Amino acid sequence: MNFEKAVKELLKEVADIEINGNRPWDVQVHDKRVYRRVLHQQSLGLGESYMEGWWDSQQVDEVMARIIRSRLPQKIKQVKYLYPLLREKFNIVRAMAINYQNKKRARIVGEKHYDISNDLYRLMLDKRMIYSCAYWQSGSTTLDQAQEAKLKLICDKVGLKPGQKILDIGCGWGGFAKYAAENYGVEVVGITISEQQLKLGKEVCQGLPIELRLQDYRDLNEKFDHIISIGMFEHVGVKNYQTYMRAAYRCLKEDGLFLLHTIGNSDSVLKTDPWLHKYIFPNGVIPSIKQIGKAIEGLFVMEDLHNFGVDYEKTLLCWHDNFLKVWDEIKSKYDQRFYRMWTYYLLTCAGSFRARDMQLWQIVLSKHGLIGGYKSIR
């Protein structure tokens, strides 16, 4: 097989991307081994070859957006190359058989992703260190404003009132907990599986009615007025969705609300992208509406669903801009391979949201349905 010819033809005819072209989204190839590697390993090969400097583009985000919009990955599978197809089938069967997000494995993502450096996240994120989609549709013009607007939106959606006790599942560095305690007069219990997040979060929230714990959601068994979970459900895994929902149900008071903020997949899958799994979010899986619906059946009523996935592209690009600005300040802790890996992660995810392949959902759930209905807040 002529790998170079196959890749060039697919990129040009399907995605309007030219090899060594002069448009910002064209790809510059520095090592011709990339063609065989991409056909052989697909997503993993594309990402690893970028990390190793085999190819570049002025707009990696637009490269990914065009690849996704054109459904190029599906068309590549039509190329008669057996090994990737066999590997994919094997990975699906393995995902069905193994619970990759059980209690023992759950902390892997904390150790590999969230514990890499508080300094990196402090410099890359907004002032509250919110590591999830900001709310730009609020009219905000800066990342700080858009994240603040997102936090306010969440608090207002569940109707926080002074004196209430709130559970934050996946509390990160305590950004939401601090905002809610300061602005709404509530008490917050936050749980995380990251030791570095917990350490800094306790410093950030010192002096406020906030308790942050290193704890798995499966071990929770206490009552809260409302429950919030922001950007954590992506780490739960299909086999544990209902277990997670049962834990939330167990901890939510009868008249309380549960707000789930999660990236959403248009398709139901059992595993994540191979490159993201290996380098960024080990064992992560993006849920579909069907999967969430099945998990809440018999437990919760869906009161509201709000999709503002288009805002994630801008959020990711802001993080990338910040990363570039502070690289000289932190590069002594990393190497060039990490720089390219992190750039590829942020930009390809931005491209995915631009292509509308991924969504961002805020879902408001109640135990029995609110009498008179729920008034949607935007």
Q: How confident is the model at residue 296 (pLDDT cuts 50, 70, 90)?
A: very high
The answer to whether 349 is a known catalytic residue is yes
- Buried b vs exposed e over 90-106: b needs ≥16 C-beta within 10 Å? eeeeebeeebbbeeeeb
**Strand-pair category, 358-366 with 301-307:** antiparallel
Catalytic residue, candidates 133, 205, 251, 349: 349
In this predicted structure, the answer to whether residue 288 has a pLDDT above a threshold of 50 is yes
Distances (CA, A) of 345 to 13, 60, 104, 275, 339: 26, 10, 26, 9, 10
Least trusted range by pLDDT, from 65-74, 180-189, 237-246, 258-267: 65-74
Number of residues that make up the chain: 378
| String of DSSP letters for 5-34 | HHHHHHHHHHH---BT-SSTTSBEES-THH
3-state secondary structure of 275: helix
Cβ-contact 299, 249 below 8 angstroms: yes
Instruction: Kindly report, residue by residue over 158-170, the tens digit of the pLDDT.
Output: 999 999 999 999 9
pLDDT for residue 74: 79
Quick one: average pLDDT of 57-67? 98
pLDDT for residue 117: 81
Helices and strands in the chain, H and E counts: 17, 9
Quick one: average pLDDT of 174-192? 98
